[in-house]
Each structure stands twice: as structure tokens, then as C-alpha cells.
Amino acid sequence: MRFKLDENLPVELVDLFRAAGHDAVTTLDQNLDGAWDSELASVCRREGRAIVTLDTDFADIRTYPPDAYVGLVVLRPSSQSRDQILKLGARLVKVLSGAVLAGQLWIVEDSRIRVRR
């Protein structure tokens, strides 16, 4: 799968995705740091990449309808610590194997993953 990791995530997270065989880049890799959410969403659609972010704005299905994207993943860790985010990201990467993400919004929490189509 192809992913773009938002600037609000630890840069080490991209290594977890790549180690699992995914094509992953960060917004920082592409000089998109500070970009508006709508711009980031447009770039992801153009590139065919699912976005992974902490930004809950992407969970608003009226603004970002899941069927218009390759995938939307919003991480909701219990704390904003680097270690907790990496732990949640590692859990996500394990679940992605064989999963269908296209046209879906995934809300990844510490104890569950909610999927909205």
C-alpha cells in the first residue's frame, strides 16, 4: 500500500511502514509541512496514497468522504507521547496485512480499530 504520514507523527513511523513493505513518505519529505488539510488531501488523492495522521479533522466524513480516498487513517492514542504513537503505529502496520483500506476511514485507538465506509 501507499501511504503519506502527516507532519504531526514521529518520523520513525515511516520506517515501520517501509519495513512492512509499504511505500511510505512523510509530508516533510515532500515539503508539505504546514499545508492546509485540503491541500494534503488533494495531494494524497493525486498520488493514490492513504493518509495517516493524528488530525481528527480527517475523521469528518462530510468534509473527507472515505469513498473519495485511497484510505484515511486517524490515530487516536491515549497520550501524545512519541512512544505511544509508535506503539499504535506498529499495531496498525500488523493489521494492514491483507486489509482493504481503500474507501474507508480507520480510527485507530489503543484498544480497537473502528472502520467507517
Among 67, 35, 68, 62, which residue's Cα sits nearest to residue 53?
35
In contact, 11 and 33? CB cutoff 8 Å = no
**How far is the C-alpha of 47 from the C-alpha of 69, rounded, in Å?**
10
- The 10s digit of each residue's pLDDT in 28-74 is 999 999 999 999 999 999 999 999 999 999 999 999 999 999 999 99
Q: Number of H helices and number of E strands within the chain?
A: 3, 6
Q: How many domains does the chain have?
A: 1
Q: In which domain, by residue range, is 77 found?
A: 2-116
User: Structure pTM?
Assistant: 0.95
- The 10s digit of each residue's pLDDT in 65-90 is 999 999 999 999 999 999 999 999 99
| CA distance to 14, 31, 67, 70, 95, per residue, from 20 (Å) | 10, 24, 25, 18, 11
Q: Given the C-alpha cell 486517524, which residue does it identify?
A: 74
What CATH code is carried by the domain that includes residue 102?
A: 3.40.50
The fraction of the chain above a pLDDT of 90, given in percent, is 96
